[in-house]
């Protein structure tokens, strides 16, 4: 079939630079793998929301953006408004998935766009996961909404690079049929690929990288002269989402991280705390006095291009956020990643994919001393490590475009 019309669900928001970079990367991937297709993106946010308008302004005329079916917004709505939104969204969900009232205006824009298009692509990220400890089964149901609509209406669909984890019990029974019936499923890290390979899925499974890598220009960087190095650091101590409340281990890690920053400055390095999400901005504000006393610099941006340029000027990035790592690695800057298991395999899996697994450090192994040791190792490797990263990113980007182009041309339902 000719793919004249593709639907991309979802387009994420702008409050997190990493989320927006997934949008950019997905569009870059489609422009290279399916340049003839007319792409319409369905936002995660309702058309009346401020987040939708902000996204529409950022994307300009690159593609058509339509509002999503979810109006529930606990951050901005009163409690009565939340209940009303949940009731309306639940009813809409049922109408769309049941496929009743065909051709009538009761269906959402998402439903109409998916059923009118030639095929659906589900945007990348780590949308398909389940954490029973945080009760996010409703989240999983909402995220799978467009895939359910496509599956129930015989619209071919495929998944762009995902990190997927913690699919057990009800979550596995919900997700597995959707993955099995997909024309293809792309993963964005080696660990997810291994994990889904064990499921014995009947679909084509493709190992790839995060789409945000496509917007960087990987090249080997030259280290700073002398003993002083430029080091960017990105924390993640949020009490929201998959992190939960800051537990005892989190308090320990926060103290170790602040001690580590102080030691870097004492050693003569130029350290910049980089903020690229609103959540991290709040954390930085709480610790601003101590950071100023230590001598840590501060940089804030939610623009992926600005962040890539910022990290390109650094000798090293030490980050707890994957997309900070992606921005830096995509321009060849050596990077150390620190991660918690509940964040899923995206950090260690991505570092495995790029053949730098030793620079992904588990949270429970991260002390001020171990962080200093891995920092010294990365700085000593310098240009050699940067060249290895740049070469591997280039290879993975080329493979991602080639693999999607092949999948669109040959996968069942697309070809």
Least confident of 228-242, 283-297, 342-356, 365-379: 228-242
**Region 125-132 average pLDDT:** 78
**Region 171-178 average pLDDT:** 92
The pLDDT value recorded for residue 210 is: 96
Rg, C-alpha atoms of the chain: 22
Look up residue 233 and give its DSSP letter. Answer: E
Residue 306: pLDDT above 90?
yes
Task: Give residues with Cβ within 8 angstroms of 246, minimum separation 6.
Answer: 237, 239, 254
Q: Could you tell me the two tokens for 89?
A: 């969204």
For the chain, the average pLDDT equals: 89
Q: Could you tell me the two tokens for 23?
A: 């949008």
The pLDDT value recorded for residue 112 is: 87
Q: How far apart are CA 339 and CA 363, in angstroms?
A: 5
Whole-prediction pTM: 0.90
pLDDT digits over 55-109, tens only?
888 876 667 888 887 787 776 788 888 888 888 888 888 888 886 656 566 888 7
pLDDT digits over 235-273, tens only?
998 654 544 456 777 788 999 999 999 999 999 999 999
Given CATH 3.40.50.2000, say whether it is the number of domain 230-391: yes
Residue 135: pLDDT above 70?
no
Q: Could you tell me the two tokens for 386?
A: 């940067």
* Cα dihedral across residues 79, 83, 86, 89: positive or negative: negative
Q: How far apart are CA 141 and CA 151, in angstroms?
A: 14
**Region 98-125 average pLDDT:** 82
Look up residue 227 and give its DSSP letter. Answer: S
The pLDDT value recorded for residue 265 is: 97
Maximal CA-CA distance, the chain: 71
pLDDT digits over 264-291, tens only?
999 999 999 999 988 888 889 989 999 9
Q: How far apart are CA 179 and CA 171, in angstroms?
A: 12
The pLDDT value recorded for residue 2 is: 63
Other Cβ atoms within 10 Å of 297 Cβ, number? 15
Burial class (CB in 10 A: 0-12, 13-18, 19+), 110: buried
Residue 156: pLDDT above 70?
yes
Task: Give residues with Cβ within 8 angstroms of 179, minimum separation 6.
Answer: 159, 185, 196, 199, 201, 203
CATH 3.40.50.2000 residue ranges of the chain are 230-391
**Region 143-162 average pLDDT:** 93
* Percent of residues, the chain, with pLDDT higher than 90: 58
Cα dihedral 228, 291, 238, 22, rounded to 10, equals -40
Q: Could you tell me the two tokens for 341?
A: 């298991």
CATH 3.40.50.11720 residue ranges of the chain are 5-208
The pLDDT value recorded for residue 239 is: 52
The pLDDT value recorded for residue 297 is: 96
CATH class of 5-208: alpha beta
Q: How far apart are CA 316 and CA 229, in angstroms?
A: 8
* Start-to-end CA span in the chain (Å): 5
Q: Could you tell me the two tokens for 39?
A: 């792409």
Contact predicate 363/338, CB 8 Å: yes
* Percent of residues, the chain, with pLDDT higher than 70: 93
The pLDDT value recorded for residue 132 is: 58
């Amino acid at each position: 079939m000719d793919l004249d019309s593709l639907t991309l669900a979802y387009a994420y928001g702008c409050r997190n630079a990493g989320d927006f970079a997934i949008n950019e990367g997905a569009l870059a991937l489609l422009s290279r793998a399916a340049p003839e297709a007319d792409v319409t993106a369905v936002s995660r946010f309702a058309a009346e929301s401020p987040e939708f308008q902000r996204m529409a302004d950022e994307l300009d005329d690159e593609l058509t953006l339509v509002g999503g079916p979810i109006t529930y917004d606990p951050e901005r709505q009163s409690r009565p408004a939340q209940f009303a939104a949940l009731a309306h969204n639940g009813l809409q969900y049922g109408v769309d998935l049941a496929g009743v009232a065909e051709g009538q205006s009761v269906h959402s824009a998402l439903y109409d766009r998916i059923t009118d298009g030639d095929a659906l692509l589900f945007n990348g990220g780590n949308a398909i996961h389940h954490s029973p400890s945080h009760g996010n089964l409703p989240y999983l149901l909402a995220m799978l909404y467009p895939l359910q609509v496509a599956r129930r209406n015989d619209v071919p669909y495929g998944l762009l690079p995902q990190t997927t984890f913690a699919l057990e019990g009800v979550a596995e029974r919900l997700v597995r049929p959707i993955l099995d019936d997909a024309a293809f499923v792309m993963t964005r890290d080696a660990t997810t690929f291994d994990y889904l390979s064990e499921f014995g899925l009947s679909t084509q499974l493709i190992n790839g990288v995060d789409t945000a890598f496509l917007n960087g220009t990987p090249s080997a960087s030259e280290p700073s002269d002398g003993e002083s190095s430029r080091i960017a650091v990105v924390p993640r101590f949020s009490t929201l989402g998959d992190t939960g409340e800051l537990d005892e281990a989190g308090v320990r890690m926060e103290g170790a991280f602040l001690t580590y920053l102080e030691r870097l400055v004492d050693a003569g390095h130029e350290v910049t705390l980089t903020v690229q999400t609103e959540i991290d901005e709040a954390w930085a504000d709480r610790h601003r006095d101590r950071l100023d006393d230590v001598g840590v610099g501060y940089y804030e941006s939610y623009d992926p291009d600005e962040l890539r340029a910022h990290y390109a000027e650094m000798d090293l990035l030490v980050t707890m956020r994957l997309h900070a790592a992606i921005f830096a690695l995509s321009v060849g800057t050596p990077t150390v990643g620190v991660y918690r298991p509940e964040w899923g395999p995206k950090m260690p899996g991505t570092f495995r994919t790029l053949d730098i697994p030793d620079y992904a450090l588990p949270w429970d192994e991260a002390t001020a001393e171990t962080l200093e040791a891995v920092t010294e190792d990365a700085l000593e490797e310098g240009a050699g490590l940067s060249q290895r990263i740049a070469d591997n990113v280039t290879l993975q980007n080329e493979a991602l475009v080639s693999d999607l182009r092949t999948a669109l041309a040959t996968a069942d339902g697309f070809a």
